[in-house]
A and B are shown apart, each in its own frame.
Chain A
Amino acid sequence: AQSVTQPDIHITVSEGASLELRCNYSYGATPYLFWYVQSPGQGLQLLLKYFSGDTLVQGIKGFEAEFKRSQSSFNLRKPSVHWSDAAEYFCAVGANTGNQFYFGTGTSLTVIP
């Protein structure tokens, strides 16, 4: 069955430190992969997506993610975190046929000064 796992429920990092949020998926074919960010009281905003091609994708706000097929992972990274990055982050898998999207349970990021 298709699923998305975000192993870290909550992460705390210092401002300026690097960040990596983990995402593992289970999907029978080549997936479409997404990272979304949700600030308090807001809807979800797309950070980046992978459909095909270069496995290292760049997104908004200085984020990047790397698709590793052998590890079924799509981890999100940022070299230097800003206080404004504090939010909830969701990884998602979209089917390349049909309509289903599968979301992880999210990782809450706290940034300390």
Chain B
Amino acid sequence: GAGVSQSPSNKVTEKGKDVELRCDPISGHTALYWYRQSLGQGLEFLIYFQGNSAPDKSGLPSDRFSAERTGGSVSTLTIQRTQQEDSAVYLCASSSVLAGSGTGELFFGEGSRLTVL
């Protein structure tokens, strides 16, 4: 697609329920990131996918959080047994990798706003 697409844009759930957030990156981008942005806060890195390599999960805050990326494209972030502190905007970004070096600029989706009651 033309840009990074995230769904749902808004999700309200009850404490203890599981939620899935979806990210469809820009076609051809091999790198995909998930970030969390709590109210008035900066960006908290969650997880990074690069091609077929093992993902960098170092930012996941607990084992209730997991993510997968199928076929090197669409990614799903799953939060199990949601807690009120999980309420935040979850941002997805994709990037192309610069030849022989690190990642280029990140292109962000508009985010999924999660509210846990």
Contacts and interface: CB of A to CB of B under 8 A. Distances in A.
A44 B45 CA distance: 14
Given A90-B42, A96-B102, A44 B31 contact: no
A97 interface: yes
B50 A43 contact: no
Interface in A74-113: 90, 92, 94-101, 103-106
Interface residues of A, number: 25
Contact of B105 (A42, A46, A98, A100): A46
Interface in B27-81: 31, 33, 35, 41-43, 45, 48, 50, 56
Interchain residue pairs A-B with the least CB separation, the first 6? A43-B108, A105-B42, A44-B108, A43-B110, A103-B43, A96-B102
25 contacts: A32-B102, A32-B104, A34-B105, A43-B108, A43-B109, A43-B110, A44-B91, A44-B93, A46-B106, A46-B107, A51-B98, A90-B42, A90-B43, A92-B106, A94-B102, A94-B104, A94-B105, A95-B102, A95-B103, A96-B101, A97-B101, A99-B56, A103-B43, A105-B41, A105-B42
Given A43-B111, A46-B105, A106-B42, 7 more contacts: A34-B106, A44-B106, A45-B108, A90-B43, A99-B103, A100-B48, A103-B43
